[in-house]
Structure formats: C-alpha cells, structure tokens
Amino acid sequence: MFRPGAPIDEIERDVEAMIIELVHELGRQADADPYRVGAEERAYIKAFSDARANSSHNQAGLLSTAIGRPNLAEALIYLNRRLDREDLDPREPAGIIGVIVRLAMDGLWVSDILDNTRFSPEERRRITDILTGLTYLTDKRLEQVVEEAKADIDIRK
C-alpha cells in the first residue's frame, strides 16, 4: 500500500482510494445479499471482521492516516452517517441494530489492529456470527426480545 519514503500526498491518495474502494465493495456485497434487511450490516461485518485477513491493506496505516486526516475517510463517514439516519428512523425499530453492529465491528477492527491475538479464530467467529444473526431480527422479533429481557430483569429484582 504505502511505499517507504512516499510523500504524504501520495499516501493520502492511497488511503482515500482504499476507503472509496471499500465503500464500493460494501455496496456490491450488500446488493448481492438475497435478504435485503440487514444486508449493509452483513457486508460491514464481512469487511471489518478480521484486520489480519485484509493483509492487502495496511490496516494500522489506514487507521492512523484516517484519524489524522478524517477528510480522507469522507466516503466511509458519509456511508455511516447515511446508514445511521436510516437505522435511527423511529419507524424502523430494528434499525438500531445496524448502528450497534457497525459500532461493534469498528471496535473489533481497532482491537485487531492493537492486539491481533486478543481473540482466537473461534472466538472471532462466535462474535461475528452473533452480530450477523442480529442483522436478521425483524421489528416484531426485536420487540419480543426486548420484552423478554425486561421480564427477565424484573424477575431478578
């Protein structure tokens, strides 16, 4: 990705191009998903589930450059804000799961960059399988789960 001694403007172009390609890839994966509800979140899970698997990208370099120059990550920021607006729409109660899933995946991605031995492959698969399962929840099922959880909490009091 970054060649040693590359000028900052070249690095910035590389980072911006990577992020734009990532956003396009997320869109392609979501469009290919046969089940529309949660498709964008499942694409996000796949893209960010394991920084080690994305060895063609310098993940730490990407993160540090994007943090230092957020304008380079504009495409991803715009995508997340659009998805957040859709997912936080009160007419779509289960949409909130999309926000939760993306935040969890962002956290897993950063965790991988900081300590790629924190989770074993089996643990990572368990985490991403649960997050993926959440993307299939309907509004009705989410309401049931929330009511069941409230009932469980009331029983414990």
Domain assignment of residue 45, given as a range: 8-156
Residue of higher predicted confidence among 13 and 126? 126
Which CATH number goes with the domain that contains 128? 1.10.357
**Which residues, 6 or more positions from 128, have their beta carbon under 8 angstroms from its beta carbon?**
45, 49, 108
Distance CA 74, CA 17 (A): 11
Q: What are phi and psi of 95, to 5 degrees?
A: -60, -30
| Residue 98 located in a structural domain | yes
Is residue 1 domain-resident? no
Identify the pLDDT of residue 9. Answer: 80
| 3, part of any domain | no
- Residue 50 within any structural domain of the chain: yes
What distance separates the 2 farthest-apart alpha carbons in the chain?
62
- pLDDT tens-place string over residues 48-84: 876 666 555 566 666 776 677 778 778 888 889 999 9
pTM of the model: 0.82
In which residue are the tokens 């009091």 written? 157
Nearest CA to 87 among 104, 108, 106, 102?
Answer: 102
